[in-house]
Amino acid sequence: MIGNINHIAIVVPDLAEAAARYKNTMGADVSEAVDLPDHGVTTVFVNLPNSKVELLHPYGDSSPIAGFLAKNPSGGMHHICYEVDDILAARDKLVEDGARILGDGDPKIGAHGKPVLFLHPKDFFGTLVEIEQV
């Protein structure tokens, strides 16, 4: 069901500093910052030959990652995103097998403009998992 790793997301306390570190120190191709008010985050993507690293920073007072950053003030890995061909079929199979979908269970449009769902970390050994339809 799952395909390639689409991205690994890292919450950072200073988005500009993190983007500059990846760009200047590691020589990476780094996108501009994009605010996603519906998701409560600002994102920067570090584009790699076979995947991406998503740098996340809270956007707004009700950001879902603000608590993560409060508990991890230096930042840290937040989630891993896998690609799926059919997000509804993947969701139905996951639910059938006992996995919990976060939110209302309906896909939302993610940072790449494609449908995404998040899976409960307790069902995946402490790791928040995102699936994205490609």
Q: pLDDT per residue over 22-65, tens digit each?
A: 999 999 999 999 999 989 999 999 999 999 999 999 998 889 99
- For the domain spanning 5-133, the CATH number is 3.10.180.10
Residue numbers annotated as active site: 130
What 3-state DSSP class applies to 108?
strand
CA distance 79 to 101: 14
Sorted by where each begins, the domain ranges of the chain are 5-133
| pTM for the whole structure | 0.94
Q: Which amino acid, one-letter code, is at 82?
A: Y
Give the residues across from 44 on adjacent strands: 55
Q: Which residues of 51-78 are buried (b: 16+ CB within 10 A; e: fewer)?
A: bbbbbbbbbeeebbbbebbeeeeebeeb
pLDDT tens, 76-112? 999 999 999 999 999 999 999 999 999 999 999 999 9
